[in-house]
Amino acid sequence: MPAPAFDAGFRNTLAELLHWRRDVRHFLTDPVDAALVQRLLRQAMRAPSVGLSQPWRWVLVEQPARRQAVEANFAAANAAAAARYQGEQATRYAALKLEGLRQAPVHLAVFADPDPGTGHGLGRQTMPGTLIWSVVMAIHTLWLAARAEGLGLGWVSILDPAPLNSLLDVPPHWTPIAYLCLGWPERASESPLLEEAGWEQRSPVEGLVFRR
């Protein structure tokens, strides 16, 4: 197959995709077609992985009792996180909506197999973190592919990861990386919710690039 040439029109639309990709916490409850989810997962697995190790493990969480346990896990972790802030910042934190667990039709837990065999250890002797980072790039691939379908993804990181393996009945040595909500967003936005809510702003990019 000849290599595709990506043109300016595609690049402009890709830039729009990056611009309009959001961490979504406001979902409609409409279902997402199972075949679409499978297609997105296949795309996510085109992500780079160190030594072609493909250490990603995807768990579709469907049973209501499991989802409720994750919601309770979030609630406890978020209460502990909220207790860290004081004064006006505490008020602002309490007003933030930080997950859409109850509305999102698809729950996806993502793990890394820390010793996957595949890849034979190549590329990760000096920087072992690259194994987990491969899973992170697959999640990011899923995120972009989902947005291109009009789907929103929200990464719930305010969770105690320790109980997730037994809760989801997966091998104890897998490393929990992410708990993702996937569904149709209530609205599109070109600004992160945390920016809209006045929690944080975009940094000027110039200050983050150095020459040596």
Residues 59-118 that bind a copy of itself (CB under 8 A): 59-63, 66, 77, 80-81, 84-85, 89, 93, 96, 98, 118
Whole-number Å distance between alpha carbons of 103 and 184: 10
Specify the residue, 115 or 195, whose C-beta has the smaller distance to a copy of itself.
Answer: 195
> In the set 29, 115, 149, 173, which binds a copy of itself (CB under 8 A)?
149
Specify the residue, 50 or 103, whose C-beta has the smaller distance to a copy of itself.
Answer: 50
Q: Under the criterion CB under 8 A, does residue 163 sit at the interface with a copy of itself? A: no
Task: Return the H-helix or E-strand segment holding 58.
Answer: strand 56-61
CB 181 within 8 A of CB 188: no
Residues 4-43 that bind a copy of itself (CB under 8 A): 4-6, 10-11, 13-21, 23, 38, 41-43
> In the set 147, 152, 165, 182, which binds a copy of itself (CB under 8 A)?
147
Q: Under the criterion CB under 8 A, does residue 192 sit at the interface with a copy of itself? A: yes
User: Contacts with a copy of itself: how many residues (CB under 8 A)?
Assistant: 101
Q: Return left, alpha or beta for 21; rule: phi > 0 is left, psi -120 to 50 is alpha, else beta.
A: beta
- Determine the length of the chain: 212
Q: Measuring CA to CA, which residue among 33, 55, 30 is closest to residue 137?
A: 55
CB 189 within 8 A of CB 22: yes
Query: 173 vs 95, 110, 168, 169, CA distance in Å?
Result: 36, 13, 13, 12
Rounded to 5°, the CA angle 87-93-94 comes to: 95
In the complex, what is the shortest distance from the CB of residue 26 to a copy of itself, in angstroms, rounded to a whole number? Answer: 14
In the complex, what is the shortest distance from the CB of residue 94 to a copy of itself, in angstroms, rounded to a whole number? Answer: 12
> In the set 51, 69, 71, 186, which binds a copy of itself (CB under 8 A)?
51
Q: Under the criterion CB under 8 A, does residue 133 sit at the interface with a copy of itself? A: yes
> In the set 32, 104, 106, 168, which binds a copy of itself (CB under 8 A)?
168
In the complex, what is the shortest distance from the CB of residue 103 to a copy of itself, in angstroms, rounded to a whole number? Answer: 19
In the complex, what is the shortest distance from the CB of residue 144 to a copy of itself, in angstroms, rounded to a whole number? Answer: 7
Residue 94: how many CB atoms within 10 A of its CB? 11
Whole-number Å distance between alpha carbons of 146 and 142: 6
